[in-house]
């Protein structure tokens, strides 16, 4: 499966209950189970490459895992030194959070990843961790994986991060749980907060005061996690885009996390004119419910705030911008350049190939809405680029190559797309 042709359609109506489970929560659920001496139970775990790699890693560091295909039960007597090199595959979240979890564990650990992950910046976690006593190293003076970690005693900290990154925040919170005193982490804008919610739910003493998170180190192990992973809003968003760009279309996305740090892209879509409503169904660690999206005429918008709340959805949102009336501007989104691909370049090049006028900036782009045209798009190994342009194909037809990456986050994506249109694999 290296190339797909997508046929255009006029309109569709659909309810989807099988959106991929949330990737951020799935990674955390297996890692945080290592902090409890009880049996954690995880339902609806995302069985995609990234998160299965995290599950494999916790097995290698001493977790006992029972999996009946529905519920994953995890118990551990603490972190053990692994026999294997720990392979995070394509996942920045996996690698950066494991740095935080392992930096205070007894033993020596090596974290590696695929050719894309080995090029992504790691100093954002290795530097603050080293500053509190962690013994971490990697290629390029600690910037690049493979990374090696020798567990060490960690000092209490008051750290101010320059970037709003949930991965950095989570790595530091995990380190703080084993530090020698109360720790404070500050960020410039609130990033996604699953770590704080889940660890608090397990009994950790974590206080959030605006942009400041105060963490008291653990005295005992935490209560086990009992969680049903909700659907991933970043995956659901591709189908929201499909309904938003096709006149007379309507979709219901079921069981999605409605965590306010995750649904900003749906809010942006509403600002562009789409008809969007939410139905709250549950609220344990996170609010969970259904999202309804109905087509309405779209206009351009400016996006410059709360960027970390919609960073993963910007490639798909750029397809909506291309279909909207007028100009759209994305600013302050330089973090896009260090995702699974340089997503400013991949979005700009992809849209230009589809006949759209786009200006590229260091920290974003300007898109002039017009008629999308069929093109051949290479995903550059980036799952969100591949899926965004497949969705654009519903409007105008599209050929997309380099598709394996979709398995990192959304293995049943094509099953769901085939409920809407025909696709041909070459
Ligand atoms: C994630 C945080 C975000 C996001 C990534 C998942 C997480 O990255 O882009 O897909 O689960 O913590 P940053 O924290 O680096 O912004």
- Ligand 1 atom, smallest distance to 164 CA: 16
With the most atoms of ligand 1 within 8 angstroms of its CB, the residue from 23, 93, 126 to mutate is 93
User: What residue ranges line ligand 1, CB within 6 angstroms?
Assistant: 24, 93, 165-167, 170, 191-192, 308, 311-312, 335
Distance (angstroms) between ligand 1 centre and the Cα of 248 equals 34
3-state helix, strand, coil split of the chain in percent (to 5) is 35, 25, 40
- pLDDT tens, residue order, the chain (426 aa): 689 999 999 999 999 999 999 999 999 999 999 999 999 999 999 999 999 999 999 999 999 999 999 999 999 999 999 999 999 999 999 999 999 999 999 999 999 999 999 999 999 999 999 999 999 999 999 999 999 999 999 999 999 999 999 999 999 999 999 999 999 999 999 999 999 999 999 999 999 999 999 999 999 999 999 999 999 999 999 999 999 999 999 999 999 999 999 999 999 999 999 999 999 999 988 999 999 999 999 999 999 999 999 999 999 999 999 999 999 999 999 999 999 999 999 999 999 999 999 999 999 999 999 999 999 999 999 999 999 999 999 999 999 999 999 999 999 999 999 999 999 998
Residue 359: active-site member: no
Q: Which CATH architecture has domain 3-21+230-425?
A: Alpha-beta prism (3.65)
Alpha helices by DSSP H, listed for 203-245, are 233-245
With the most atoms of ligand 1 within 8 angstroms of its CB, the residue from 26, 167, 195 to mutate is 167
Residue nearest to atom 4 of ligand 1 (CA): 312
Beta strands in 258-412 (DSSP E): 275-283, 287-294, 302-303, 327-330, 357-361, 364-368, 376-378, 398-401
Distance (angstroms) between ligand 1 centre and the Cα of 192 equals 8
Of residues 50, 312, 378, 380, which has the active-site annotation?
Answer: 312
Does residue 40 contact residue 225 with C-beta atoms inside 8 Å? Answer: yes
Q: In the prediction, which pLDDT does 1 show?
A: 64
Strands 302-303 and 327-330, sheet pairing:
parallel
Domain residues of the chain, as ranges? 3-21+230-425, 23-228
Which residue, among 238, 266, 232, has the nearest Cα to 93 in the 3D structure? 232
User: How many other β-carbons are positioned within 10 Å of the β-carbon of residue 284?
Assistant: 12
Which residue, among 230, 343, 323, has the nearest Cα to 269 in the 3D structure? 323
- Ligand 1 atom, smallest distance to 169 CA: 14
Distance (angstroms) between ligand 1 centre and the Cα of 68 equals 29
Distance (angstroms) between ligand 1 centre and the Cα of 214 equals 20
pLDDT in tens, 362-388: 999 999 999 999 999 999 999 999 999
Residue nearest to atom 13 of ligand 1 (CA): 165
- Tell me the three-class secondary structure of 319-333, residue by residue: HHHHHCECEEEECCC
Q: Does domain 23-228 have CATH number 3.40.50.280?
A: no
With the most atoms of ligand 1 within 8 angstroms of its CB, the residue from 28, 92, 189, 310 to mutate is 92
Distance (angstroms) between ligand 1 centre and the Cα of 9 equals 33
Distance (angstroms) between ligand 1 centre and the Cα of 129 equals 18
Alpha helices by DSSP H, listed for 177-304, are 194-201, 233-245, 264-271
- Ligand 1 atom, smallest distance to 28 CA: 11
- Ligand 1 atom, smallest distance to 311 CA: 9
Q: In the prediction, which pLDDT does 2 show?
A: 86
């Amino acid at each position: 499966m290296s190339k797909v042709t997508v046929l255009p359609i006029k309109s569709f109506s659909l309810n989807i209950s099988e959106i991929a489970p949330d990737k951020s929560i799935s990674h955390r659920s297996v890692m945080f189970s290592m902090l409890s001496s009880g049996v954690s139970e995880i339902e609806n775990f995302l069985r995609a490459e990234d998160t299965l790699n995290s599950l494999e890693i916790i097995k290698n560091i001493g977790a006992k895992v029972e999996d009946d295909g529905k519920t994953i039960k995890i118990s551990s007597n603490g972190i053990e030194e692994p026999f294997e090199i720990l392979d995070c595959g394509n996942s920045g979240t996996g690698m950066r959070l494991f740095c935080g979890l392992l930096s205070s564990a007894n033993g020596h650990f090596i974290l590696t990843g695929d050719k894309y992950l080995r090029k992504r910046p790691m100093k954002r976690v290795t530097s603050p961790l080293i500053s509190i006593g962690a013994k971490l190293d990697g290629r390029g003076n600690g910037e690049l994986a493979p990374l090696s970690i020798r567990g060490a005693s960690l000092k209490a900290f008051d750290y101010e991060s320059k970037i709003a990154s949930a991965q950095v925040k989570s790595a530091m919170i995990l380190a703080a749980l084993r530090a020698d005193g109360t720790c404070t982490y500050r960020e410039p804008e609130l990033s996604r907060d699953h770590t704080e919610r889940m660890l608090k739910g397990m009994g950790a003493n974590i206080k959030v005061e605006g942009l400041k998170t105060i963490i008291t180190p653990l005295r005992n192990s935490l209560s086990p996690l009992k969680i049903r992973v909700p659907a991933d809003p970043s995956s659901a968003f591709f189908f929201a885009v499909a309904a938003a760009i096709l006149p007379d279309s309507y979709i219901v996305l079921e069981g999605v996390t409605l965590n306010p740090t995750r649904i900003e892209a749906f809010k942006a879509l509403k600002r562009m004119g789409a008809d969007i409503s939410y139905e709250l169904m549950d609220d344990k660690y996170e609010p969970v419910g259904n999202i309804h999206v109905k087509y309405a005429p779209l206009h351009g918008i400016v996006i410059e705030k709360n960027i970390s709340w919609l960073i993963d959805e910007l490639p798909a949102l750029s397809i909506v911008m291309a279909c909207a009336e007028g100009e759209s501007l994305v600013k302050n989104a330089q973090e896009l350049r260090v995702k699974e691909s340089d997503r400013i370049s991949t979005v700009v090049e992809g849209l230009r190939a589809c006949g759209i006028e786009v200006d590229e900036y260091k920290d974003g782009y300007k898109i002039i809405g017009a008629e999308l045209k069929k093109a051949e798009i290479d995903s550059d190994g980036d799952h969100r680029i591949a899926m965004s342009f497949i969705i654009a194909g519903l409007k105008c037809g599209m050929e997309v190559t380099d598709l394996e990456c979709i398995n990192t986050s959304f293995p049943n994506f094509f099953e769901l797309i085939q409920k809407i249109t025909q696709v041909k694999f070459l």
